[in-house]
Structure 1
Amino acid sequence: MHKLVVISGDGIGREVVPVAVEVLEKLLPNLKTVKAEAGWDCFQRHGAAVPEATLQALRDCGAGLFGAVSSPSQRVNGYRSAILQMRQALQLDVNLRPVRSWPVVSAKQGVDLIILRENCEGLYSGREHLEADGVAIAERVITRDACKALALRTLEVAKARNARRITLVHKANILPLTCGLFRDTCLEVLEGEGWAAQLDERLVDLAALQLVQQPEAFDLIVTTNLFGDILSDLACHWSGGLALAPSLNWGQGIALAEPVHGSAPDITGSGRANPLAAILSLALLLRYRWLDEDNAKRLEQAVESFLQQEGRADFGVDTTRVVREGVLAAL
């Protein structure tokens, strides 16, 4: 039996997650769901953005879906982003972000790439301090173990999709110690497993330019936490924007599916929230955590069929309902 921890989170997370779960239940009639809490609203109610009960539920089930998180732009004592806490506490050390062309909604056809990024370290390690009045310091943490874990996950994905190209993205010319360690560790692992012929490198600024110019030239992009966060949001333009941007936070024996979009307070409750990113995130959970390629493809094909039949990129004021009904019908 498949078990899924359902964490709606904040804002439109409470609107898109139930739709995604309903779609998954159609594929997996015996799915068992466990509701849990996390996010800014949870922090305001309980004083903890991620209660220990939520972490334990994820450990017990080994799989989860997280909807969206709101985070204040200024420092709030005791609060840290819920998704960052879950990534680090559960050692979800790899983030997987596919970008592909879809019918109607994509600005360009022929794009099919995956961005794999380290998910717990870098400038998101949480190591910040005030050194003096008007001087704030953030520490960029890169470890060999985390880079090796990322490279090993890259091997899994590269073998599964028979990757034609693996591009390491870094800034080792400016950050020779941190980016240098990332680059050298990934090269050692990937070359050692016979992938030297498929490997190339890009400095992050050039990679950003080329993702705009010729995204179809990329296959797998492997990079550090902050660089991957930015590049994947840039690249998702080619798949139709954040509304169709899924991701998977991937650890050992545990994974947390997460649509990339935020809590979108400006449209919360309006019916305009698009659940496709949440639905597609569950396809990643099926493929990479539950190793159920057949149902992952069925889910993605249902989304493709829905988009083709709908024939429009904007689903109007009833987006949530239109997408729900359309994808369920396509299944």
Structure 2
Amino acid sequence: MASSNSMHLIVLPGDGIGPEITAAAVAVLEAASDRFDLGLRLEHDIAGYASLERHGTTVRGELLEKVRAADGLVLGPMSTFDYTDESKGGVNPSMFFRKNLDLFANVRPARTYPGVPHHAAQDFDLVVVRENTEGFYADRNMESGGSEILVTPDVCISMRRITRACCERIARAAFRLAAARKRHVSIVHKANVLKIGDGIFIEECRKVAAEFPEVVVDDFIIDAMCAHVVRAPARFDVIVTTNMFGDILSDLTAELSGSLGLGGSVNAGTRYAMAQAAHGSAPDIAGQDRANPFSLILSTAQLLDWHADRLGSATFAAASRAIEAAVEEAVAAGESTPDVGGHFGTAATGAGIAQRVRAMAGTA
């Protein structure tokens, strides 16, 4: 385990725009390490198409062991939809690491930025905390095989796994986060239909809530919640929900903020965490210096904050805040890609954020 003044990260650039935005994020991480004396050690490797071409698989077994020997992972966007045949090496890297490292909490902030047009009725700042290891995900419910069964060529059965242990730990992650924010947790479910599974989820969330009397708690059915966040997103702080609902809701809230490219994402567990952009690999603009790197940059800030919380390090927490502040300043100054109102390319955007982080004063 790393000390409070060091951190070892594995960096996997990914597919499509992945190498471009990962390079920008690495520049920012290196700037943060220099400015705050973090002692970051970045070890570069490959996954995705580059690994498939070189090694015959998108994720090598030895790569997992390398990540386990580190403190965390920066994963660039992967063309996961194209990886359809695991027998031919087409393993989904995101799923692979989430499952094998037990990254049970997908934490997805969504907020508006001054000067960036958005789709919500008002400015907002919220976080979706999504359970990441079970639910309606056929690739992570079983010890062996998947949880979708083709009964006949015309009949499929999809099974959802819900456990009290997983519900309890995602609820705890949400309430701990809310206690440090605006002290409000909204439980999102479909217990009117999925009475047993979502009933268990609500029960475990309420049990954890009893330990946080200062946090206000309410709950919403998922379809109603989608309407509420469109109509009045500012009323929400931390939203906790199961895997599939969280996947959908976090994309909705990120897009409401103005762009998926403004939403960070960290997949966190007890021992490991993975920074991962909230969007895909966008092969149509790959190599054109047009991709917005903010999502991955903000994800790395979350990764540093996770490390800070795990080790009780004020220095790593300060570095995380500095990156977030630098992004906000860059957006306001138009030093960003055109999709969020700026006039920079990918590389220049990353370099500008790095420069701002190096110039940060009085943050540590």
TM-score (norm 2): 0.85
2:236 aligns with one of 212, 218, 237: 218
Deviations 1:255-307 (A, max 9, x none): 00101110101101111111111110011011122332211111111111111
**Take 2:169 and 2:334, find their aligned partners in 1: how far apart are those partners?**
41
Q: Which residue of 2 aligns with 1:140?
A: 160
Mark the CA change 1:38 to 1:137 in structure 2 (over 3 Å): closer, same or farther: farther
Contact 2:109 2:264 in 1 (8 A): yes
In structure 2, what residue type is equivalent to 1:27? A
In structure 1, what residue type is equivalent to 2:318? D
1:180 aligns with one of 196, 199, 205: 199
**Take 1:50 and 1:290, find their aligned partners in 2: how far apart are those partners?**
28
The answer on 1:94 being equivalent to 2:105 is: yes
Q: Which residue of 1 aligns with 2:69?
A: 60
Mark the CA change 1:287 to 1:197 in structure 2 (over 3 Å): closer, same or farther: closer
Name structure 1 gaps, 5 residues minimum.
none
In structure 1, what residue type is equivalent to 2:250? S
**Take 2:14 and 2:350, find their aligned partners in 1: how far apart are those partners?**
19
Q: Which residue of 1 aligns with 2:123?
A: 110
Contact 1:12 1:265 in 2 (8 A): yes
**Take 1:58 and 1:219, find their aligned partners in 2: how far apart are those partners?**
32
**Take 2:303 and 2:185, find their aligned partners in 1: how far apart are those partners?**
22
**Take 2:130 and 2:253, find their aligned partners in 1: how far apart are those partners?**
14
Contact 2:20 2:347 in 1 (8 A): no
Deviations 1:153-191 (A, max 9, x none): 123212222x33110000011001111111111111222
**Take 2:57 and 2:280, find their aligned partners in 1: how far apart are those partners?**
19
Deviations 1:217-249 (A, max 9, x none): 100100000100100000012332111111000
**Take 2:208 and 2:275, find their aligned partners in 1: how far apart are those partners?**
26
Deviations 1:105-157 (A, max 9, x none): 24255311010010011111422221112112221111111111101212321
Q: After TM superposition, give the deviation of residue 195 of structure 1 in Å.
A: 3.4
Name structure 2 gaps, 5 residues minimum.
1-5, 140-146, 310-315, 358-364
Q: Which residue of 1 aligns with 2:133?
A: 120
Aligned pair count? Answer: 328
Deviates more, 1:37-46 or 1:87-96: 37-46
**Take 2:109 and 2:194, find their aligned partners in 1: how far apart are those partners?**
27
Deviates more, 1:321-330 or 1:175-184: 321-330
In structure 2, what residue type is equivalent to 1:105? V
The answer on 1:3 being equivalent to 2:21 is: no
Q: After TM superposition, give the deviation of residue 38 of structure 1 in Å.
A: 2.3
Map residues 1-331 of structure 1 onto 2, 5 A cutoff: 1-29=6-34, 30-72=39-81, 75-78=84-87, 79-107=90-118, 110-126=123-139, 127-161=147-181, 163-191=182-210, 193-195=211-213, 198-291=216-309, 292-310=316-334, 313-315=340-342, 319-331=345-357
Indicate the RMSD between aligned Cα atoms, in angstroms: 1.9
**Take 1:138 and 1:45, find their aligned partners in 2: how far apart are those partners?**
35
Mark the CA change 1:40 to 1:179 in structure 2 (over 3 Å): closer, same or farther: farther
**Take 2:197 and 2:53, find their aligned partners in 1: how far apart are those partners?**
36
**Take 2:179 and 2:214, find their aligned partners in 1: how far apart are those partners?**
14
**Take 2:281 and 2:155, find their aligned partners in 1: how far apart are those partners?**
31
Mark the CA change 1:264 to 1:25 in structure 2 (over 3 Å): closer, same or farther: same
Contact 2:175 2:185 in 1 (8 A): no
**Take 2:281 and 2:156, find their aligned partners in 1: how far apart are those partners?**
28
Mark the CA change 1:266 to 1:278 in structure 2 (over 3 Å): closer, same or farther: same
Q: After TM superposition, give the deviation of residue 252 of structure 1 in Å.
A: 0.7
Contact 1:106 1:238 in 2 (8 A): no
**Take 2:163 and 2:81, find their aligned partners in 1: how far apart are those partners?**
29
Contact 2:178 2:237 in 1 (8 A): no
In structure 2, what residue type is equivalent to 1:99? A
Mark the CA change 1:111 to 1:276 in structure 2 (over 3 Å): closer, same or farther: same
